């Protein structure tokens, strides 16, 4: 396989966890403190759907039903985004990989570019917490900002703090789609916990607490791993 060693070494972080575990919430905080760039594959797909692009049309059914988009398509979407640059001090992959096949494809991409996977932050929480979080989530259809009616309400009820648009329920937060997403997660994504644990890359974080408490644990784990990564370990 051809490698390109002339590129800047890119450091990659993976955020892994069930739907509603808090991947997006925590990744957003982390990127501010560490100068990382967050790549949310779910948000990329939702944007494509909103914009009515070819990609959006081809993935809309999968996303609304709570099923996974096919691996090859997702890997192509990710590669295209990484090829655009704008990767800050490193990249947080929020929502990729989601299957063992995607994890293997990511390993191939990293090897080809001599990029380094620094760690996998696994946000571990119970189904009860997940259902509470997804049940109260509201999103901004214009800018993608994320809220929760109880734990992270907007300043003005029903309106986005950033752009003022009216908040909506994410279509895949409907009860039937949530059931499907949890089933898909258990079958197809949870095996990645073992996959990355065996590679010594997993940081298991108890994600059931308040967002700030969870964030302190995430930040400490990432800071520790980052030093190791910078030292070339």
133 is catalytic: no
In the complex, minimum distance from the CB of residue 140 to ligand AP5, in angstroms, rounded to a whole number = 12
Task: Tell me which of 81, 137, 138, 225 is the catalytic residue.
Answer: 137
Cβ-proximal residues to 142 (8 Å cutoff; 6+ apart), any chain: 160, 163, 165
Which residues make beta-bridge pairs with 40? 94
Positions touching ligand AP5 (CB under 6 A) are 17, 19-25, 41-42, 45, 62-63, 66-69, 74, 95-96, 98, 102, 133, 137, 146-148, 151-152, 172, 181, 210-211, 214
Active site residue 31: no
Q: Is 225 a catalytic residue?
A: no
Active site residue 224: no
Choose between 11 and 44: whose C-beta lies nearer to ligand AP5. Answer: 44
Q: How far apart are CA 81 and CA 128, in angstroms?
A: 34
121 Cβ contact partners less than 8 Å away, ≥ 6 residues apart: 13, 14, 15, 16, 26, 203, 205, 218, 221, 222
Q: Which residue in the list 29, 46, 138, 170 is annotated as catalytic?
A: 170
Catalytic entry in 29, 31, 46, 181: 181
Residue of 98, 133, 138, 225 with catalytic role: 98
Phi, psi for 92 (deg, rounded to 5): -100, 120
Clarify whether 186 is annotated catalytic. no
66 versus 90: smaller Cβ distance to ligand AP5: 66
Which residues pair with residue 146 across a beta bridge? 139
- Are 85 and 196 in contact by the 8 Å Cβ rule? The answer is no
* Residues forming the active site: 23, 98, 137, 170, 181
């Amino acid at each position: 396989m051809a490698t390109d060693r002339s590129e800047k070494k890119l450091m990659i972080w993976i955020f892994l966890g069930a739907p509603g575990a808090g991947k997006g919430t925590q990744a957003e905080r982390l990127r501010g403190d560490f100068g990382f760039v967050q790549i949310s594959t779910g948000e990329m797909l939702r944007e494509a759907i909103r914009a009515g692009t070819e990609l959006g049309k081809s993935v809309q059914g999968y996303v609304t039903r709570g099923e996974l988009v096919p691996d090859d398509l997702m890997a192509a979407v990710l590669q295209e985004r990484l090829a655009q640059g704008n990767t800050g001090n490193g990249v947080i992959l929020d929502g990729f990989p989601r299957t063992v096949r995607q994890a293997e494809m990511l390993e191939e991409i990293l090897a080809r570019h001599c990029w380094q996977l620094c760690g996998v932050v696994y946000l571990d929480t119970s189904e009860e917490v997940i259902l509470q979080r997804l049940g109260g989530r509201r999103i901004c259809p214009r800018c993608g900002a994320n809220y929760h009616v109880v734990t992270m309400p907007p300043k003005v009820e029903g309106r986005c703090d950033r752009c003022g648009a009216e908040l909506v329920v994410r279509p895949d937060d409907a009860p039937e789609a949530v059931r499907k997403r949890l089933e898909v997660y258990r079958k197809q994504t949870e095996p990645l916990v073992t996959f990355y644990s065996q590679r010594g890359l997993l940081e298991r974080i108890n994600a059931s607490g308040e967002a700030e408490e969870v964030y302190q644990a995430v930040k400490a784990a990432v800071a520790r791993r980052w030093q190791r990564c910078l030292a070339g370990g």
